[in-house]
Amino acid sequence: MSAGSGMRALRGPAATLVDNPFEQPSRACLVTHEDALVVIEDGIIRAFGPYAELKDAVPAGAEVHHYPDHLLVPGFIDAHVHFPQLQMIGAYGAQLLEWLDTYTFPAEMSFADAGHAARVARLFLRELLRAGTTTAMVYCTVHPHSVDAFFAESERFNTRMIAGKVLMDRNAPAALLDTAQRGYDESVALIERWHGRGRQLYCVTPRFAPTSTEAQLDAAGALLKTRDGLFLQTHLCENPGEVAWVRELFPARASYLDVYAHAGLVGPRSMFGHAVHMHEGDFCTCHQSGAGLAHCPTSNLFLGSGLFRLFDAVDPRRPVRVGLGTDVGGGTSLSQLQSLNEAYKVAALTGHKLDAVQGFYLATLGGARALGLEGTLGRLAPGHEADICVLDPQATPLMAFRAGYCASIEELLFMLMTLGDDRAVRATYAAGACVYDRARPGDPFLPASS
């Protein structure tokens, strides 16, 4: 029996979203149990509910991992992150375009070394799991072996990951450029190798409009038609200087988003990172197409890019799907709890209050919906993949003290999303296997393939 197969169960307090708290009262969208049981078989949740009602559903001898005084939640979903930028997280003092030239491109050139790519992929995957993140939409580099390195590491842990080779054929260092044809051909080979292999999914990945010619963007659109279920990720309206540059490079297009729409890149599995400087017409296009936006608060604040208008994006009159992204290395933490801490402040600065239920929706079920993976990820519910994060509200003395004054689950969740970080994650399960346990002697990480 492999680590992800057979029947097992997790027991403890639990919370999960069942509906969209930006469209319904928040409390009605949250299901909680003070003593829950999650029954898992072959990596899938078979039952979820009160322990007293489900305890007889677990056969004698099956593993039951009990986490009293913790909180079981769905594994976090990161809608936008760059694994090659781990080595320059926290780089000082530049806005987007200068930051790319000064830090990002030099870091990504080091990924010409396949051994380096494998080492960073190993660390990156483990740091995601330490933060309770079980699914991420990931940018690799222009080098195909960077994608191989990332997916191979994800396969070892049996995590549900979405990733792709960056496409760039202009406005970047020569060592990081491909061509429209070579980018297409290398992407096709990677799609054949990885898309749908186990839990791995492929994402067509033009970095952003300024680094791709129209020919390459058209080739990206053609790539999306080569296989069912492919994803698309790129950047959109992150920085005013970037938006102006796109206007110069594509004068025939009505907007930045229209550049992508013209190439056939705007659809229900498309994820656009940042979207800080959007206009109403672009929000309407995303609503009509089913495209998602990745809210990256730690990055937008760190680089001074601006404030994402979350509550405008999710306006019930034409709601747009929104997930939560760390955007490391522009972002400053792989912890989605830290992302939510900053998302609350961004919302406050735009005249809104992001409550804890809405926050955890963005990091779990909302992220799954934005990625087109509703029904597969983002909930503790029968039929969903058993990706689970075990949170520890008493991870630090201050958190333990503050938790003692939380009078409701909403207060506890809000405390976690303002004071919490990777220290608040006790354990992480991928497809039912405990791939990270803070309390495990020695190495806390256990690849499922072992």
Rounded alpha-carbon distances, angstroms, from residue 372 to 79, 393, 432: 11, 31, 22
The predicted model gives 163-174 an average pLDDT of 97
- Residues 197-249 have pLDDT tens digits of 999 999 999 999 999 999 999 999 999 999 999 999 999 999 999 999 999 99
Dihedral through CA 93, CA 96, CA 102, CA 106, nearest 10?
A: 130
On whether the CB atoms of residues 81 and 32 are closer than 8 A, the answer is no
**Per-residue confidence at 450, pLDDT binned at 50, 70, 90?**
low
Compute φ and ψ for 370, nearest 5 degrees.
-65, -30
Same domain, 55 and 132: no
Q: Which pLDDT belongs to residue 209? A: 98
| Structural domain of 39 | 7-74+379-437
Identity of residue 79: A
Final residue of a domain: which of 370, 393, 419?
A: 370
- Indicate whether 212 and 257 sit together in one domain: yes
Element (H, E) at 357: helix 356-363
Instruction: Read off the pLDDT of residues 76-112 as tens digits, 9 standing for 90 and up.
Output: 999 999 999 999 999 998 888 898 999 999 999 999 9
CATH of the domain at 333: 3.20.20.140
**What digits encode the pLDDT tens for the residues 64-74?**
999 999 999 99
**Structurally, how many domains does the chain consist of?**
2
Identify whether the C-beta of residue 176 lies closer than 8 Å to the C-beta of residue 168: yes
- Rounded distance, CA 438 to CA 394, Å? 13
Q: pLDDT at position 254, please?
A: 96
The CATH code of the domain that includes 420 is 2.30.40.10
Higher-confidence residue of 288 and 3: namely: 288
Query: Which of 328, 351, 370 corresponds to the end of one domain?
Result: 370
Q: Please write the tens of the pLDDT for every residue from 99-158.
A: 899 999 999 999 999 999 999 999 999 999 999 999 999 999 999 999 999 999 999 999
Q: What is the pLDDT of residue 96?
A: 83
The answer to the question of residue 59 being in a domain is yes
296/325 Cα distance (integer angstroms): 5
Mean pLDDT taken over the chain: 96
Q: Which helix (H) or strand (E) holds 286?
A: helix 280-289
Residue finishing a domain among 370, 395, 419: 370
User: Which candidate, 225, 235, 229, 287, places its Cα nearest to that of 259?
Assistant: 235
Question: How far is Cα of residue 13 from the mean position of the Cα atoms in its chain?
Answer: 24
Buried b (16+ CB within 10 A) or exposed e, 15-50: bbbeebbbeeebeebbbbbeebbbbbbebbbbbbbe
Token reading at 335: 């912890």
Q: Residue 257 pLDDT > 60, yes or no?
A: yes
